[in-house]
Structure formats: structure tokens, C-alpha cells
Amino acid sequence: MKNAGVGVGLIAGIAVLIWLGTGFFIVQEGQQAVITQFGKYKSTVGAGFNWRLPYPVQRHELVFVTQIRSVDVGRDTVIKATGLRESAMLTEDENIVEIKFAVQYRLNDARAWLFESKNPGDAVVQAAETAVREVVGKMKMDTALAEERDQIAPRVRTLMQTILDRYKVGVEVVAINLQQGGVRPPEQVQSAFDDVLKAGQERERAKNEAQAYANDVVPRAVGSASRLKEEADAYKARIVAQAQGDSQRFSAVLTEYQKAPQVTRDRMYLETMQQIYASISKVLIDSRQGSNLLYLPLEKILQGATLPVGQADTPATGGAAVAPQMPSTLSNDARARDSSRTRDRESR
């Protein structure tokens, strides 16, 4: 009997060890194990080799937490009561648009995913539908289809995450992806809205072309205006400086004139006549006084003195010769007679 008791105890010990050994389990990378004790949440363990009390005291359930899950929102099922698809939504200006998109999410709390919601997958879909209807309901149809279409996805993601956190579903929304043609008007008015979109694109194209033309013309016009302004400023400065110089010169002449009027008048007269005779092409001779200059070929002499070598002479015309300056062949008597006539005119 003693040996039998020892054998039974040994068998019982081995059974206990085997029972305790069933509590060992392995959690793979990217998973979490939720341990429950008599059906009540006990703890959450991460990846690795773990142990718990064997069944029926404790149990564990493995949950993938890093896996990206996806669910489509906006089905083509027609609702009999309205005759519209489930993807149809009402906008702020009381129009209808259809939106289809996919929600990508992952778990961030395994305990909440298992125990806080009866059906967390349906909760994600319902939260997505609620968020998108609220976002679209605050937008006008034109902005939802074109102008603010790219803003729908981030707004839905933010609002959806808020709803899921409020209900403690244990889900993190990764992305909202609008499907091809995800935002569109109903089929009955699709062609009309296509025309509207084409008109909007043409408007944007014309606007861009006009802006490009303005960017090309305006800088050139500004440059031309700046150049004209600089030229005008330079012309103004030159005229003002010339006027100031003339004024100062006149003032200096006036001062000298007040000191010696006769001498100043003679000097001014001689300088003026010198400037006049230097720019004419005629030779003046007093024919009343006998002079040998009448018989000299003056125009030939002047042409020979002024024209370059090899240039053809021009024929004489009536005793007058073309010359750029006063002839140097005038005699001293002619100069004396000019001076006497000048003094006579001044005395008169």
C-alpha cells in the first residue's frame, strides 16, 4: 500500500508538471497576447516566450497589432426607400454626391479590440460612414467635386480617429484612400458635371496663359518705363546744367560789360562775326575798291586747300567759292576797311 501511494503521488506530480507545462506559449513578432483569468481580462504580453496559468484558470488570445487592415466604404447597393446607392451623400447645398473610399487601419490596443466593442470591424465601417457624411455635409457640391476634393480624406481621417478613440475601439487609422472616381455626381447628371469640369479646366488654362503673358509683358514695360525715366532725368540734368552755365556766363559778361561797355561790345561783336563767318561757305569781297582778288581763282584755291587729295573739283559758280572757313588770302587793306566800317557803324 505504501508503494502504491508513492506511485500514485509520482503520477500525480508528473500530471501536475504536464498541466503546468501547457501554460507556456510563444508570441510572434507583430502580435500581442491578451491573457484572461476565468474569462476576465488579466494582462497583455508582447512578442516572446511567455507563461500563464494553464486552462481552465487562464487563457490567452493572439492578436495581430502591426498588420494593416483595410475596409471599403461606399457600396453600390441601391436602397429601395430612396432609390440611391449607399455611397450617396447629401452636401451643404442640398445636392447629392457619391463617395467611395478605402480605410486602412491597424490595432493599437488589443484589449480594447477584444473587449470594448462587440463587433469592432463594423464599428470601424460605421465610424467611417459617419465621418464622411459629416465632412461632405459641410461642403458644397462644387467644392467637394473639384476645389476641396483633396481635403476630404484628411478631414475624414481626423474625425474618424476621434470617433474611434471616443468609443475605445483600439484602432489607429493609417490612411483614407479615395478610389478612382471616388467623388462623383449621380449617374443621371454625370454628363452635365463633366461639361462643368471641362469648363473649369479651360478657365484655369486661360487664367494660366494670361498670367504667363502678364509675367512676360509687365517686366518689359517696367524696364521700358525705367529706361525712359532715366533718359528724361539725364536730359533734365543736361538742360538744367546748360542753362545754369549760360546764366553764369551771361552774368560774367554783364559784370565785364558794366566795367567797360565799349570794349565788351566790340569783343562780343567780333566773336559773333567770327562764329558766323566760320560756318558759311561764301567769300565776301568789296568790289567798289579795286582789288586783284577779283581776278584770282578763289574757289579753286579754297577747294585745293580744303578738299582731300584726289577728290574732284567742283565747277565755279558766279565768282563764289565753297569754303568751310574764312579765306586766308584777304589783304591787310581789306581787314582795315572792315574794321573802319565796323567803328563807323558803332559810332552811328
What type of residue is 344?
A: D
186 neighbors 96 (Cβ within 8 angstroms) = yes
What cell numbers appear for 137 in the block?
455635409
Look-up of cell digits 457600396: 75
pLDDT of res. 294? 55
For 283-345, the DSSP string reads ----TTS--GGGGS-HHHHHHHHHSPTTPPPPPPBTTB---SS--TT--HHHHHHHHHHHHHH
Residues whose CB is less than 8 angstroms from the CB of residue 92 and which lie 6 or more positions away in sequence, other chains included: 137, 138, 139, 140
Look-up of cell digits 488579466: 42
Looking at the structure, give the CATH architecture of the domain made up of residues 69-185: 2-Layer Sandwich (3.30)
What cell numbers appear for 348 in the block?
552811328
Going from N- to C-terminal start, the domains of the chain cover 19-67, 69-185, 281-347
pLDDT of res. 127? 92
Q: d(Cα 32, Cα 46) in Å, to the nearest integer?
A: 5
pLDDT of res. 317? 38
CA 15 to chain centre: 79
Q: d(Cα 152, Cα 132) in Å, to the nearest integer?
A: 8
**Could you count the other beta carbons within 10 Å of the beta carbon of residue 162?**
12
pLDDT of res. 142? 77
Q: d(Cα 203, Cα 210) in Å, to the nearest integer?
A: 10
Q: d(Cα 289, Cα 334) in Å, to the nearest integer?
A: 9
141 neighbors 192 (Cβ within 8 angstroms) = no
Cis omega (within 30 of 0) for bond into 56: yes
Bridge partners of 35, per DSSP, are 43, 60
Q: d(Cα 338, Cα 333) in Å, to the nearest integer?
A: 9
Closest alpha carbon to 183 in 138, 150, 134, 159: 150
pLDDT of res. 287? 64
Low-confidence ranges of the chain (pLDDT < 70): 1-5, 78-83, 180-181, 188, 281-348
54: three-class secondary structure by DSSP: coil
Secondary structure of 111-160 in HEC code, one letter for each residue: HHHHHCCCCHHHHHHHHHHHHHHHHHHCCCHHHHHHHCHHHHHHHHHHHH
305 neighbors 326 (Cβ within 8 angstroms) = no
pLDDT of res. 301? 66
Q: Is 185 exposed, middle or buried (0-12, 13-18, 19+ CB in 10 A)?
A: buried
pTM value? 0.51
